[in-house]
Amino acid sequence: MMQNVHLAPETDEDDLYSGYNDYNPIYDIEELENDAAFQQAVRTSHGRRPPITAKISSTAVTRPIATGYGSKTSLASSIGRPMTGAIQDGVTRPMTAVRAAGFTKAALRGSAFDPLGQSRGPAPPLEAKKKDSPEEKIKQLEKEVNELVEESCIASSCGDLKLALEKAKDAGRKERVLVRQREQVTTPENINLDLTYSVLFNLASQYSVNEMYAEALNTYQVIVKNKMFSNAGILKMNMGNIYLKQRNYSKAIKFYRMALDQVPSVNKQMRIKIMQNIGVTFIQAGQYSDAINSYEHIMSMAPNLKAGYNLTICYFAVGDREKMKKAFQKLIAVPLEIDEDKYISPSDDPHTNLVTEAIKNDHLRQMERERKAMAEKYIMTSAKLIAPVIETSFAAGYDWCVEVVKASQYVELANDLEINKAVTYLRQKDYNQAVEILKMLEKKDSRVKSAAATNLSALYYMGKDFAQASSYADIAVNSDRYNPAALTNKGNTVFANGDYEKAAEFYKEALRNDSSCTEALYNIGLTYEKLNRLDEALDCFLKLHAILRNSAEVLYQIANIYELMENPSQAIEWLMQVVSVVPTDPQVLSKLGELYDHEGDKSQAFQYYYESYRYFPCNIEVIEWLGAYYIDTQFWEKAIQYFERASLIQPTQVKWQLMVASCFRRSGNYQKALDTYKDTHRKFPENVECLRFLVRLCTDLGLKDAQEYARKLKRLEKMKEIREQRIKSGRDGSGGSRGKREGSASGDSGQNYSASSKGERLSARLRALPGTNEPYESSSNKEIDASYVDPLGPQIERPKTAAKKRIDEDDFADEELGDDLLPE
């Protein structure tokens, strides 16, 4: 075993532990601060440059490594590839890791350091696109089509329908050119179907809004028949709408049902809307049973206000009382989906209060208010529609509706229904019941109390009971100081008592609370007219004219003020506008005739007086003027027919029969004139003028009756002298009251008719229309409008139309208190 053991000799030249204490100064880091070469390398790129590289012939390069014995051994790469920085045959392999930073072999040849390659100059310009290429032409044309579609939509939204249609047509033409060009360049599969669809749909829509229904239907047919357009079948609903506008109800229903079949069941809202359209079409076609089926299905699937309202109307049309009640209950049960609690701040947190104040009048809140107002309108209209027919009397029907409303979420509408009930009593001229109901409502809350008191004030005002009207107006104002109707009524009562300055203050306050209160503005104009402040009155009526463009009363008042300001040309111009609004109003026509007569234009005056006589042949003033006009123009025969009509209207007035006899005499028909005088003498035996003409005519004709008529004339003249003496003695004495009365009677009998010996021409005395102290309303002494409150909101009576006439001036009961909502 010892044969294999070899001991090292002590004098061996290679010491086993030699070299461990050798120190390489390269690794001395303590003296690096004083090493100039190292500091230069740190401050600059010196020493970082890679060695010079050269192409090597072999990839199997070894790398020498140092061992603990100080010798160096080369190791080959595991893949036979020379390692980075290795040297083989005097050639260094390139260090590729740093080439991208600019460290290339060119740097060793003295070139400047340029890592960004700036020395090579600017980059070459991009290659310009060829404008003449087919692709560029197609893109440009497609952009133009899109711009035309957008311009068409904008013009339509701005109301310029003609321009919108022109733009839509241009877009259609360019889109067809685009399709042809695209087919020549690419395959048909690359055609932009969305652009084609939008162009055709916009064109059809513009045809429809321009009422070019045939073209719109043809365009829709092109879209619907193209199978490449997905979901185009829904456009059949638009086609149904067009047929509905054309009153082609059968085709409208057909297309609605085709659209309904193509709408998937998941799109519930769209299906409900199409079914509502079907129901509306059935209603317009008079097929109420089919409409009921549609609306019943809607109310069972997704109840809404419009469907419930229309369902109630359908049951009203077929006369089914029980179904009307059920439909009304369904309408009331439709949820509003409005959370009022979120608008009430539950705490004193300032941040929460600010948020609450911010959302109290935002767009969502406004939408909720509109939805609530629409619901109240539908419910009130339905109740007023069905209340008179669901029970034996309208009062019982209203009571049932009130009970149903009280049990619903619309509790506040119950009082409004009670006010409607009172208004219904007024229309039936049952004033006692109306007053009783309104007085009961005085005990309610302030809003209802103010409304009831306002109606009572208007009722008593039209009944000429100004004391009661003022009392209830005070109650209404105290209950709600911001109620313009109450303030207007209070101003009316003060106006009736002659205190115009105070009345103007109430009207001004009403206008401050509601600038759209047309009644207050109208009445303050009348007040200024009473105070002779014509400029201010004119300003009021001109403002009112800007609000009520076609109000005949406002136009007439403006003309009346211009007449008071002695500007007849302006008065005639405004009266012509009144005639354009109410062309058959005889009072306006006679007023125009009067103004033209004052201006000396007899032909125009005759034209308007004659038109007034055609529409109302019982106006004595117009008849008198026309008769006098024919006498002046010596057309005696035509004057006779007007005076005969006047004698029929006023048979106790002797002057008309005398004028008829005078016309016969002047026309040469003496026998007819004699007969007329004799007939007049039989009716009025004490008329002196008739006897004088009888004596003269009988004398001229040589009749024996002349002496008898002369004796009667002498006796009447003697009686007249005795009567005049009694009047004179009565005036001179202390107890002449009886003589005064007899003299007055004598004077009246003597003034019935007077004619001079030179002629019997009748002066045309023209009575004016309503004067400065009266609003425009023929045959009426009412000066200002009484106000009332409609249950849907504080409103007051609208100005009466100029064509309305009433023979009995004191019969205020014929006036309606307000406008009812009619079924939609």
pLDDT digits over 130-182, tens only?
A: 666 778 888 888 899 999 999 999 999 999 999 999 999 999 999 998 888 88
- What are the pLDDT digits (tens) for 754-811? 333 333 333 333 233 333 333 333 333 333 333 333 333 333 333 332 333 332 333 3
DSSP assignment, residue 401? H
Residue 48: predicted pLDDT: 55
Where is average pLDDT lowest: 146-160, 529-543, 710-724?
Answer: 710-724
pLDDT at 361: 81
Name the amino acid, one letter, at 510: A
The whole-number pLDDT of residue 807 equals 26
Q: pLDDT at residue 709 above 60? A: yes
Name the one residue in this structure whose structure tokens are 């979120």: 342
Taking residues 91-116, what's their average pLDDT? 55
Q: Is 267 left (phi over 0), alpha (psi -120 to 50) or beta?
A: beta
Tell me, what amino acid is at 592?
L
pLDDT at 106 over 70: no
Determine which helix (DSSP H) or strand (DSSP E) holds 613, and give its type and residue range: helix 602-615
| Sequence-distant (≥ 6) Cβ neighbours of residue 796 within 8 angstroms | 458, 484, 485, 488, 489, 517, 519, 785, 786, 787, 788, 789
Query: CA of 402: how far to CAs of 234, 284, 380, 410, in Å?
Result: 43, 30, 10, 10
pLDDT over 90 (residue 339) = no
Mean pLDDT of 289-306: 93
pLDDT at 119: 65
In this structure, what are the phi and psi dihedrals at residue 578, rounded to the nearest 5 degrees? -65, -40
For residue 676, tell me if it sits in a domain. Answer: yes
Range 332-337 average pLDDT: 88
**DSSP secondary structure letters along 619-640:** -HHHHHHHHHHHHHTT-HHHHH
Question: Which of 66-80, 255-269, 329-343, 694-708 bottoms out in mean pLDDT, i.e. has the lowest?
Answer: 66-80
CA atoms of 824 and 822, how far apart (whole Å): 6
Pairing of strands 91-92, 72-76: unpaired
Mean pLDDT score, 379-386: 92
Residue 409 — very low, low, confident or very high, per pLDDT cuts 50/70/90? confident
Q: In whole angstroms, how far apart are CA 25 and each of 28, 31, 35?
A: 5, 9, 11
Point out the least confidently predicted range of 345-359, 540-554, 706-720: 345-359
Q: How far apart are CA 609 and CA 614, in angstroms?
A: 9
CB atoms inside a 10 Å sphere around CB 469 = 24
Q: What is the pLDDT of residue 598?
A: 92
DSSP 361-411: TSHHHHHHHHHHHHHHHHHHHHHHHHHHHHSSSHHHHHHHHHHHHHTSS-T
- pLDDT, mean of residues 292-317: 93
Domain that holds residue 717: 646-725
pLDDT at 524: 95
* pLDDT above 70: residue 817: no
Q: Please state, for a pLDDT cut of 70, what percent of the chain lies above it.
A: 73
Does residue 407 have a pLDDT over 60?
Answer: yes
CA distance linking residue 39 with residue 33, whole number of Å: 7
Buried b (16+ CB within 10 A) or exposed e, 120-135: eeeeeeeeeeeeeeee
Report yes or no on 659 lying in a domain.
yes
Structure tokens at 605: 């005056």
Contact 456, 438 (CB under 8 A): yes
Task: Please count the structural domains in the chain.
Answer: 1
- Give a yes or no: residue 24 inside a domain: no
Residues 6 or more apart from 672 whose CB is under 8 A from it? 664
User: Could you give the CA distance from residue 703 to residue 709 in angstroms, rounded to a whole number?
Assistant: 11
**3 state SS of 140:** helix
Q: Is residue 388 part of a domain?
A: no
* 664 assigned to some structural domain: yes
Report the C-alpha gap between 551 and 573 in whole angstroms: 15
Count, residues in the chain: 824
**Which residue type does 131 have?**
K
Neighbouring residues of 544: CB distance < 8 A, sequence distance ≥ 6: 518, 521, 522, 525, 551, 554
Per-residue pLDDT at 411 exceeds 80? yes
Which range (42-56, 418-432, 612-626) has the least confidence?
42-56
Across 605-613, average pLDDT: 94
**What is the CB neighbour count within 10 angstroms for residue 742?**
15
Residue 709 lies in a domain: yes
- Nearest residue to 324 via CA among 337, 310, 335: 310
Amino acid at 424: T
pLDDT exceeds 50 at position 501: yes
Specify if 690 maps to a domain. yes
Query: Considering just the CA atoms, what is the radius of gyration of the chain in Å?
Result: 53
Query: Taking the model in full, what pTM does it have?
Result: 0.58
Q: Torsion over CA of 768, 772, 775 and 776, rounded to 10 degrees? A: 30
Q: Is residue 688 part of a domain?
A: yes
Distance CA 348, CA 111 (A): 79
Angle CA(283)–CA(317)–CA(277) in degrees, nearest 5?
Answer: 20
Per-residue confidence (pLDDT) for residue 706, from 0 to 100? 82
* pLDDT band for position 92 (cuts 50, 70, 90): low
The two beta strands, 62-66 and 87-88, are unpaired
pLDDT value at residue 35: 75
Tokens for 209?
């809004």
Q: Which residues of 34-55 are buried (b: 16+ CB within 10 A; e: fewer)?
A: eeeeeeeeeeeeeeeebeebee
Give kind and range of the element (H or E) at residue 513: helix 500-513
- Written as six digits, the tokens of 401 are 């509706």
Nearest partner of 378 among 405, 359, 357, 403, judged by Cα: 405
What CATH number has the domain bearing residue 663? Answer: 1.25.40.10
Q: Report, as an integer, the average pLDDT of 543-549.
A: 92
- Whether residue 806 contacts residue 779, with contact meaning beta carbons closer than 8 Å, is answered with yes
pLDDT at 294 over 70: yes
How wide is the angle at C-alpha 631 spanned by C-alphas 628 and 633, nearest 5°?
110
Q: What is the Cα–Cα distance from 267 to 280, expressed in whole angstroms?
A: 21
pLDDT in the model for residue 579: 93
- Write down the mean pLDDT value for the chain: 78
How far apart CA 615 and CA 318 sit, in angstroms, is 41
84 near 92, Cβ under 8 Å?
A: no
Residue 215: the pLDDT is 93
Give the range among 225-229, 484-488, 761-765 with minimum mean pLDDT. 761-765
CA distance 93 to 83: 8
Range from 45-49, 323-327, 374-378, 585-589 carrying the lowest mean pLDDT: 45-49
